[in-house]
Chain A
Amino acid sequence: MTTLTVHEITKAFFGIAAVKAVSLSVEAGQILGLIGQNGAGKSTLMNLIGGVVQPDSGTMQFNGAPYTPRIPSDAVHAGIAFIHQELNLFTNLTIAENIFIAGFPRTRFGSIDRAAMRQRAKDLLASVGLEMSSDTPVERIAPGERQLVEIAKALYQDASLIIFDEPTTSLTARETERLFAIMRQLREQGKALIYISHILGDVLKYADSIAIMRDGALVAHEPASAFDVNRMIALMVGRSIEQLYPPRTAPPTSEPVLQVENVTAAGVVENITFDLLRGEVLGVFGLMGSGRTELVRILFGLEPFERGKITLNGRDVGLPTPRESIRAGMAFVTENRREEGLLMSIDIANNIGMVALPQYADRLLQIIRQRDLSDGAGRMAGALQLKSGDIRQQNVKALSGGNQQKVVIAKWLLNAPTVFILDEPTRGIDVGAKYEIYTIIDRLAAEGGGVLIISSELEELMGMCDRILVMSRGEIVGQFARADFNDAAILRAAFREAESNGAMS
């Protein structure tokens, strides 16, 4: 049985077609894997299905009836649920309230029937395997658990189509396993699922059929057995990618640009010592909670430390503030683009100009030289091959994840930094854009900068770095030079301490 049919649907923004005459059907009791590069039109297609935007032409049918959502709640009422990459939960409410927010069980007097709500919430949480009181505020639970709450919400709404948009990016390995188990279970129950992901191996493994989008058009939709990863990539990029990582163009120098000596913040990091060399790409690997993000936040001046010394370009920076760090030539791309990296509802040019803004101000009157600023921003956008409309008109919000990340990088590049810290630089970014980000990283190092990358993807660090530091429980527990890279050894180092001290994930 077909749950959703999309027929010849088209949508353009500012005259640029985001979705071109796409026809697609989703069957009940099946998982449809949907893949494509950032900007290929996946998100727009989902927004069309979800009623967030309306199509310019084309029709949809849902459970056999014409389906024309005008607002998101139309989709909810029709029986379509979204599990977004950025979760849509209300952190100030409890788990139960989040599940029932659009349709509370009521008493005769119209108030919330709290007993019924708790009972139903308990059943729903049990069916997604979340053992937790439904009265827990969402702000107190982990990202993986939040995702399960979203799924419980979808189950409550008795959705017949559930769309998972990059559901596993913020999950631990165990949570990911559990999520896939639940997805399979939903499929057994006859739900239709759309699974959008950049993790091609997972899509291949769990999807029944795979649809691939490129430049707004659907380029393939076949049973999963017809694909392998290489074919998926080839269809996504329109050519075959020979390599996942660009070759490194220049070796590191021996001159340190950033020296960290015995940096300690009680309860967070302990005796951190390392040098970052000019021209070097240095990786920091560790499990979630190993202190890797905390460390770079300390280096950048976002968190304090008690002991130790940080030397940047030969100068002791003391306890830096982010402002001083930026002035001293440091750049920090955070792991959280949406909240910490970008002003989502402001145009691209002004986002790019954010850090280097003082350089574009008139010396005397401090008036921004708008033309120079947008020229500079435009140069950066060009150098990073940003795919967008007019950078002075288009908001960052309208860009794909990969292009948003390029805006963040461009923002820092415009300030010509000498130390570049990137926390999870390719999270939620597709293969093609990843390659471009790697190329940028190589160029930064080749031009004499020091690059520090944090990543949960060991393969990525091994592909790009000259050296990898391994962190566990706030300490550096291992160091590997490129010649000695060995994934098993690195993982062992990262896990060693964790095992002897109980569960850390």
Chain B
Amino acid sequence: MNGRRNLWQFLLGNSTIVLFIVVFIAFGIASPRFFLPENIINIVKQASFVGFLAVGMTFVLLTAGIDLSVGSNMYLSAVAAGLLMRSIGLEIVPALIVSLVVGTLFGAVNAFLILRLKIIPFMVTLGTLVIGRGLGTALTESQQIDFPERMNAFGQIVILGIPMPIIAFVIVVAAAYYILTRTPFGRQVYAVGNDIEAGKKAGINTDRVIAGVYIISGFCAGLAGFILASQLGGRVDRSFGDGREFDAIAAAVLGGTSLFGGTGNIIGTVIGAVLIQMVQTGLQFNLVNLYLQPMVKAFIIFLAIFFDSLRDSNLKKLKRRFIRPVNT
């Protein structure tokens, strides 16, 4: 009985990983080519775009905030880089820096509106979602932007057999992990998410922490925009990044990040992002009806979240404090 209880507790405690493995094996059985290394690398590569956003989103969610503007931000950042590359012939590295600066400033604007004008994050980022995309569409006159050929070449870089987006993703994840677990700022992010009033009383500069997470989220969106543009052969149209904020939020929540703040970690987010992409790729692999795919994807996300809530209530029950021996 105790063994079964422990197994149950283990399965529930790691529900996302268990689901990850189950989904992976199921798709593999359905079409064995799914297990090929090229396919696995492809999944991770595809996951990295949402992954960048999800990493930034994790910081924001940890403070009990939300950033709905990341999809628009990645569009605007990519547009800014693309326009400058075309008009003044900017090279790749300066163009990347332009994307990052635009993304970061976008995040700073969110932070400013949230902290100075004291508007709730949901409304602020919903507003900048619309404004950001509007600005991008105005700058491009709603036309598709074609980047110079060197953008495409940049996107195809492979180092030691590993595509560039994966390398960038690993670096971002490592940096985010380090920041969240090893720096004062990172621990204060968790503190603010746990109890912001107590944070103020403890002498934490909570405004700085909150500004920090939106700026990081903006930076990640800028990076995601530039790298995704390089993968699409340097073509950015109006729908670029549209709706990606929901994938990012789903990835973070799948990975165990709470929308109420204070709980979550980067590794979980990475697993969540890869899981979502794996489902998408797996569905394409198995030629599931194109119109059904979003529904199946949503169902698996729902399943994961359901397990998660099951875990919460069950862990609570299993960890219940007994005050007397149980008579059996």
Q: Which residue of B lies closest to A264 (CB)?
A: B327
Contact between B182 and A111 (Cβ–Cβ < 8 Å)? yes
Tell me the nearest residue of chain A to B188, going by C-beta: A101
Q: How far is the CA of A52 from the CA of B198 in the complex (A)?
A: 12
Please tell me if the beta carbons of B327 and A266 are within 8 angstroms of each other in the complex: yes
Check A474 for interface membership: any CB of B closer than 8 A.
yes
List 9 A-B pairs, minimum CB-CB distance, nearest first: A76-B203, A88-B198, A102-B203, A267-B322, A73-B203, A267-B326, A474-B324, A104-B184, A90-B194
**Known contacts A76-B203, A90-B190, A289-B323: A111-B183 contact under CB 8 Å:** yes
- CB nearest to A497 among chain B residues: B324
Query: Could you say which residues of chain B place their CB within 8 Å of the CB of A93?
Result: 187, 190-191, 194
Contact between chains at B323 and A73 (CB < 8 Å): no
> A81 to nearest B CB, angstroms?
10
Question: A109–B184 Cα gap in the complex (Å)?
Answer: 12
Alpha-carbon separation in the docked complex, A77 to B203 (Å)? 8
A300 at the interface (CB under 8 A from B): no
Cβ-neighbour of B262 out of A52, A77, A92, A473 (below 8 A): A92
Taken together as a complex, chains A and B put the C-alpha atoms of A72 and B326 apart, in Å, by 48
Q: A314 at interface (Cβ–Cβ under 8 A)?
A: no
B323 touches which of A71, A101, A153, A291 (Cβ 8 Å): A291
When distances are taken between beta carbons in the complex, the residues of chain A under 8 Å from B201 are 50, 52, 72, 76, 82, 84, 88
Residues A112 and B183 in contact, CB atoms below 8 Å apart: yes
Say whether B202 faces chain A, with CB atoms less than 8 Å apart.
Answer: yes
Assess whether A92 is in contact with B324, with CB atoms less than 8 Å apart. no
- Contact of B204 with A by CB under 8 A: yes
Within 8 A of B (CB), among A55-110: 71-73, 76-77, 82, 84, 88-93, 97, 101-104, 106, 110
Residue of B nearest to A289 (CB): B323
Q: A504: nearest residue on chain B (CB-CB)?
A: B323
B280 contacts chain A at the CB level, 8 A cutoff: no
A270 & B194 in contact (Cβ 8 Å cutoff): no
What residue of chain B has the Cβ atom nearest to residue A82's Cβ?
B201
Q: Is A261 engaged at the interface, CB distance under 8 Å to the other chain?
A: no
Contact B202 A76 (CB under 8 A): yes
A residues 416-446 near B (Cβ < 8 Å) are none
Known contacts A77-B203, A291-B323: does B191 contact A110 (CB below 8 Å)? no
Interface residues of A (CB under 8 A from B): 50, 52, 71-73, 76-77, 82, 84, 88-93, 97, 101-104, 106, 110-112, 114, 153, 157, 266-270, 289-291, 294, 473-475
Kindly identify, within residues 181 to 223 of chain B, every residue whose CB is under 8 Å from any CB belonging to chain A.
182-184, 187-188, 190-191, 193-195, 197-205
Q: Report B-chain residues with C-beta under 8 Å of the C-beta of A269.
A: 324
One digit per residue, 1 when the CB lies within 8 angstroms of any chain A CB and 0 when it does not, for chain B 96-118 equals 00000000000000000000000
Q: Which residue of A lies closest to B206 (CB)?
A: A73
B122 at the interface (CB under 8 A from A): no
Could you tell me the distance between the alpha carbons of A92 and B187 in the complex, rounded to whole angstroms?
10
Residue ranges of B at the interface with A (Cβ–Cβ < 8 Å): 178, 182-184, 187-188, 190-191, 193-195, 197-205, 262-263, 320, 322-328
Name the residue in B178, B190, B263, B324 with the highest tally of chain A Cβ atoms < 10 Å from its Cβ.
B324
B198 neighbours in A (Cβ, 8 Å): 88-90
Residues of A within 8 A of B190 (CB): 90, 92-93
Residues of B within 8 A of A91 (CB): 194
Find chain B residues with CB under 8 A from A294 CB: 323
Contact across chains for B324 and A291 when beta carbons are under 8 A apart = yes
A104-B184, A270-B324 known; 12 other A-B pairs, CB under 8 Å?
A71-B200, A73-B203, A76-B202, A88-B195, A92-B190, A93-B187, A93-B191, A97-B187, A101-B199, A106-B184, A111-B182, A474-B324
| Bound form: Cα–Cα A270–B203 in Å | 47
Q: Known contacts A112-B182, A268-B323: does B194 contact A92 (CB below 8 Å)?
A: yes
Query: Do A270 and B187 touch across chains, with their CB atoms under 8 A apart?
Result: no
Asked if residues A72 and B203 are in contact (CB atoms below 8 Å), the reply is yes
User: B326 to chain A: which residues have CB within 8 Å?
Assistant: 266-267
Beta-carbon nearest neighbor of B186 in chain A: A112
Distance of B227 from chain A, by nearest CB (Å): 27
- Residue of A at shortest CB range from B195? A90
In whole angstroms, what is the CA distance A105 to B193 when docked? 22
Residues on B with beta carbons closer than 8 Å to the beta carbon of A88: 195, 197-198, 201-202
Contact (A90, B184) CB under 8 Å given A101-B204, A270-B324, A294-B323: no
CB-defined A-B contacts under 8 Å, sample of 12: A72-B201, A73-B203, A88-B201, A93-B191, A101-B199, A102-B202, A102-B203, A110-B183, A111-B182, A114-B182, A291-B324, A473-B324
The CA of A71 and the CA of B199, in the complex, are separated in Å by: 12
B206 → A minimal CB distance (Å): 9
CB contacts (< 8 Å) of A267 on chain B: these are 320, 322-326
Q: Which residues of B contact A290 (CB under 8 A)?
A: 323
In the complex, what's the smallest C-beta–C-beta distance from A277 to chain B, in angstroms?
28
Q: Quick one: given A267-B324, A270-B327, A290-B323, are A112 and B184 in contact (CB under 8 Å)?
A: yes
Is the Cβ of B205 less than 8 Å from the Cβ of A73? yes
State A474–B324 Cα separation when bound (angstroms). 6
Is B187 a contact partner of A101 (Cβ separation < 8 A)?
A: yes
Question: A104 and B187 in contact (CB under 8 A), knowing A291-B324, A474-B324?
Answer: yes
Report the separation of the CA atoms of residues A50 and B202 in the bound assembly, to the nearest whole angstrom: 11
Distance (whole angstroms) from the CB of B20 to the closest CB of chain A: 24
Cβ contacts under 8 Å, B194 to chain A: 90-93
Residues of B within 8 A of A474 (CB): 323-324
**A93–B327 Cα gap in the complex (Å)?**
36
Inter-chain contacts of A101 with B (CB < 8 A): 187-188, 191, 199, 202, 204
Contacts of B188 in A (CB 8 A): 101
Chain A residues with CB under 8 A of B183: 110-112
CB distance from B204 to the nearest CB of A (A): 6
Q: Bound complex: CA of A220 vs CA of B74, how far in Å?
A: 65
Shortest CB-to-CB span from B29 to chain A, Å, is 39
Given contacts A72-B201, A89-B198, contact A268 B187 (CB under 8 A): no
Residue of B199, B203, B205 most packed against chain A (CB within 10 A): B203
Q: A91 vs B198: C-alpha distance in the bound complex, in angstroms?
A: 11
A88 to B203, alpha carbons, bound, how many Å? 11
